[in-house]
Chain A
């Protein structure tokens, strides 16, 4: 729907609704922590950031004269390839899929013995994959630094003239 709407207000509101729906889908698929994150991000921050961008840029999309056929062909081709890739996969929710076999069940068994906390996701996040999380934190910090540097009032081309 983001395709046809000209007014960017409506696009931003619909993306907020999409975030809500995806959070509910995560709850249904047992990923409670992920749903929590998506809920916090989608409800609290992302709408405000999009609106702030709109306040500094434009509100209405201009008419595009882009050809629509070539993107459609490319997208369909990618879709066919991806669906062909899923044909080998085990069914949704299967017990014997390779993803479930080794690491996940091991973590489920050893987390309580090692740390004594019931939330396995937190245990893996902070302890077993601690390096990974350190890297992710640094990425968040770097992105924040980039935003601060970009928007901290350095002069642009127009002001120099």
Chain B
């Protein structure tokens, strides 16, 4: 994709907008439709777009393979640690009252934001890692039907 100038310029502009929209969906998910699952897919779609237009080599400079594969586990860790946090303070697993015991409502709100963040991180990096695995593979057999 060396000669497609318009596509490249538009992509450079759109990637930022898509990531911004993904962050809006992630953190405004309590008030409007959205949440971690959707935001993860949207942010991953931005990276996929960059990979398609600019080439796999360039997107892997921005987001290396090892980072995507390891960060996928980080999201589950954030989620589970939120639960462990409430165990430490003497509540049940994933009971967000532990975050601010005098304001249970605020505790719930913070807990939901943390948990959605964990979900978003996992989904984003899992989708990016899946895309890398599919796109970074040379076809080992030639196709006769072209």
Q: Do chains A and B touch in the complex (CB under 8 A)?
A: yes
- B30 close to A119 (CB less than 8 A): yes
B42 an interface residue at 8 Å Cβ cutoff?
yes
Interface positions of B from 88 to 140, Cβ below 8 Å from A:
93-94, 96, 104-106, 108-109, 111-112, 115-116, 118-119, 122-123, 125-127, 129-131, 133-135, 137, 139-140
Q: Which residue of A lies closest to B145 (CB)?
A: A60
A58 an interface residue at 8 Å Cβ cutoff?
yes
Instruction: List the count of A-B residue pairs having beta carbons below 8 Å apart.
Output: 148
Q: Which residue of A lies closest to B35 (CB)?
A: A122
A81 an interface residue at 8 Å Cβ cutoff?
no
Contact of B80 among A40, A53, A125, A134 (CB under 8 A): A134
Q: Given contacts A45-B127, A117-B31, is CB(A127)–CB(B44) below 8 Å?
A: no
Contact of B122 among A32, A49, A140, A150 (CB under 8 A): A140
Q: How many residues of A contact B (CB 8 A)?
A: 50
CA distance A107 to B118 in the complex (A): 24
Interface positions of A from 35 to 83, Cβ below 8 Å from B:
35-37, 40-41, 43-45, 48-49, 52-53, 55-60
CA distance A40 to B41 in the complex (A): 6
Q: Given contacts A44-B45, A48-B52, A115-B109, is CB(A130)–CB(B34) below 8 Å?
A: no
Q: Which residue of B lies closest to A118 (CB)?
A: B31
B90 → chain A closest CB, angstroms: 18
CA distance A133 to B25 in the complex (A): 18
A14 an interface residue at 8 Å Cβ cutoff?
no
CA distance A44 to B46 in the complex (A): 8
Q: Which residue of B lies closest to A56 (CB)?
A: B139
A interface, CB within 8 angstroms of B = 32-33, 35-37, 40-41, 43-45, 48-49, 52-53, 55-60, 114-119, 121-123, 125-127, 130-131, 133-134, 137-138, 140-141, 143-145, 147-148, 150-153, 158
